[in-house]
Amino acid sequence: MFNHTHQTAPTQFVEANGIRFAYRRFGKAGGVPIVFNQHYTGTMDYWDPAVTDGLARDREVVLFNNAGVSSSSGEVPTTFEQMGANAIAFSRALRLNKADVLGFSIGGMVAQEIALQAPDLVRKLILVGTGPRGGQGMESLTQVAQRIFGAAYDPPEHLWLAVLFSPSQAGQAAGLEFIKRKHLRQQGRDPEVNDKVSPAQIAAMDKWGVQQKGSYDYLKTIKQPTLVVNGSNDVIMPTVNSFLMQQNIPNAELIVYPDSNHGSQFQYPELFVRHVSTFLSGDERRDV
């Protein structure tokens, strides 16, 4: 399996918690794998091969669909706590004793839950375009996000140009290149999600976004080295939330890319791969 790439890795299945999880593994075996947690209504085919193959040069990459998403069975939970528990069950079923965990958007909320519920499993944490419980402007989707997701696009996939990329000429050009890369895999693609996925994920966001006194206190218990990444103007998960996470997670560092939006890692894939690779291969014996 380790001769495969993003385009050729077969979809496999593993049972855990009564769920048949779909996953793909590829890259360099032998070290600590990196497990990817996907965004709202996304599947394994919504990852950028420039990112996944780039990281797979030095480590094993594991992509999966959480419960109820695309080719995985079960129902989508309405809390990120349960999504995190399912992701942990999946990782244990693959016999992963230690993993680096990357989460993008709502996947970043799931990744936080994995670190909280199973700190022994997580070596390092990468939180991209996401936010903390009770973050700023995160009550459900922001008004801007609701307008973006509610608009019509021709072709429909150009929705992702507005969601993920800066409106600048350079940002939109990068978005069109991303869409091309996203379709490089021709065989064995994931089915799109069913109609039950979006309402359940939005319900989870509604609960996560409630602001309470001490909302950020839990972040102080995340002891793993953490890399927080975002675009300079994330219209889905406002960029200020990345600062809040970096300020409250004891061993966190922050990268904000210029002229970029929610999908900054897809706008600057080569740079993102370099930054993540440096972070993952760096000395983890830092003070916490």
- Provide mean pLDDT across the span 170-199: 97
How far apart, in whole angstroms, are the C-alpha atoms of residue 112 and residue 115? 5
| pLDDT confidence of residue 288 | 37
Cα-only R_g, the chain: 17
Query: Where residue 285 falls among pLDDT bands split at 50, 70, 90?
Result: very low
Residue 268: predicted pLDDT: 98
pLDDT at 283 over 80: no
Average pLDDT over residues 38-54: 98
For the stretch 101-139, pLDDT in tens is: 999 999 999 999 999 999 999 999 999 999 999 999 887
- pLDDT at residue 141, rounded to an integer: 65
- Reported as a single tens digit per residue, the pLDDT across 234-261 is 999 999 999 999 999 999 999 999 999 9
Q: According to the model, what pLDDT value does residue 225 have?
A: 98
Per the prediction, the chain carries an average pLDDT of 95
Instruction: Quote the pLDDT of residue 3.
Output: 80
239 vs 284, residue with greater confidence: 239
- Which pLDDT band holds residue 143 (cuts at 50, 70, 90)? confident
Instruction: Please give the pLDDT value at position 120.
Output: 98
Q: Residue 164 in contact with residue 277, Cβ under 8 Å?
A: no
State mean pLDDT over 88-107.
Answer: 98
286 has a pLDDT exceeding 60: no
Specify the pLDDT at position 282: 84
The sheet with strand 34-37 has its strands ordered as 12-16, 19-27, 60-64, 34-37, 99-104, 122-128, 226-231, 252-257
> Closest by alpha carbon to 64, among 103, 99, 35?
35
CB 96 within 8 A of CB 223: no
DSSP codes of every residue in 196-234: THHHHHHHHHHHHT---TTTTGGGGG--S-EEEEEETT-
pLDDT at 195 over 50: yes
| Whole-number pLDDT of residue 1 | 47
pLDDT surpasses 70 at 59: yes
How does residue 140 score in pLDDT terms, banded at 50, 70 and 90?
Answer: low
Q: What value does the mean pLDDT take over residues 148-168? A: 94
70: pLDDT strictly greater than 90: yes
Task: Return the closest-CA partner of residue 89 out of 2, 23, 9.
Answer: 23
* Confidence grade of residue 24 (pLDDT, cut at 50, 70, 90): very high
What pTM was estimated for this model as a whole? 0.95
Instruction: Please determine, for residue 273, whether its predicted confidence score (pLDDT) is greater than 80.
Output: yes
